[in-house]
């Protein structure tokens, strides 16, 4: 009985297609205020799930990013679900054009982007840019206020003389 079930399962497996999952580590370059990287991947027909883990930034910041499919007459990528640190990202499927956009999402800590989608056709890819703008620490604002205070004091003292 078990042998029949295993043979049946093995025979039906190709009918359901295959899913691809890639874990990709991406080094953010730049700094100390702006970090960026190019992201993307290529898949064959079927469902896929890519997890991008970003290194080089572990603070508080704001993310701006965009992904777009590289569509052709014989293949296409459709984004079904995209998240950044567990927060949903806006996606749109406009026929042969699929996009995902992050327009100023506040983040903290390690960054993880998960891209789920499907490929129709033999092989298709997507890509885009990922940028993080670091938010200055409160001490930086304190130093700025202190410096402006010193300048104001010096200007007032000069004016009195």
Q: Does residue 154 lie in a domain region? A: no
Q: Does residue 141 lie in a domain region? A: no
The count of other CB atoms within 10 Å of the CB of residue 17 is: 11
Structural domain tally of the chain?
1
Per-residue pLDDT of the chain (161 residues; tens, 9 = 90+): 454 443 433 343 333 345 678 899 999 999 889 999 999 999 999 999 999 999 999 889 999 999 999 878 888 999 999 999 999 999 999 888 899 999 999 999 899 999 999 999 889 999 999 999 997 655 555 656 666 666 666 666 666 76
Q: What is the CATH number of the domain that holds 72?
A: 2.60.120
Q: Does residue 109 lie in a domain region? A: yes
Q: What is the pTM of this model?
A: 0.74
Domain that holds residue 11: 2-136
Q: Does residue 146 lie in a domain region? A: no
**CA–CA gap between residue 159 and residue 148 (Å, rounded):** 16
Q: How far is CA 3 from CA 8, 11, 13, 14, 16, in A?
A: 9, 12, 15, 18, 21
Which residues lie below 8 Å from residue 110, measured CB to CB, with a gap of 6+? 53, 54, 58
**Angle value at C-alpha 132, between 131 and 138, nearest 5 degrees:** 160
């Amino acid at each position: 009985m078990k042998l029949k079930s295993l043979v049946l399962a093995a025979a039906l497996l190709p009918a359901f297609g295959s899913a691809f999952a890639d874990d990709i580590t991406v080094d953010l370059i730049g700094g100390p205020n702006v970090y960026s990287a190019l992201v993307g991947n290529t898949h064959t027909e079927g469902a896929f799930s890519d997890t991008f883990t970003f290194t080089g930034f572990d603070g508080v910041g704001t993310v701006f990013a965009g992904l777009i499919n590289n569509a052709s007459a014989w293949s296409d990528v459709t984004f079904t679900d995209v998240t950044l640190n567990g927060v949903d990202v806006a996606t749109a499927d406009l026929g042969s054009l699929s996009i995902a956009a992050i327009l100023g999402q506040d983040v903290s800590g390690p960054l993880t982007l998960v891209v789920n989608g499907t490929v129709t056709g033999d092989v298709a890819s997507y890509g885009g840019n990922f940028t993080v703008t670091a938010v200055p620490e409160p001490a930086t604002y304190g130093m700025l206020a202190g410096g402006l205070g010193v300048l104001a004091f010096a200007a007032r003292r000069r004016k009195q003389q």
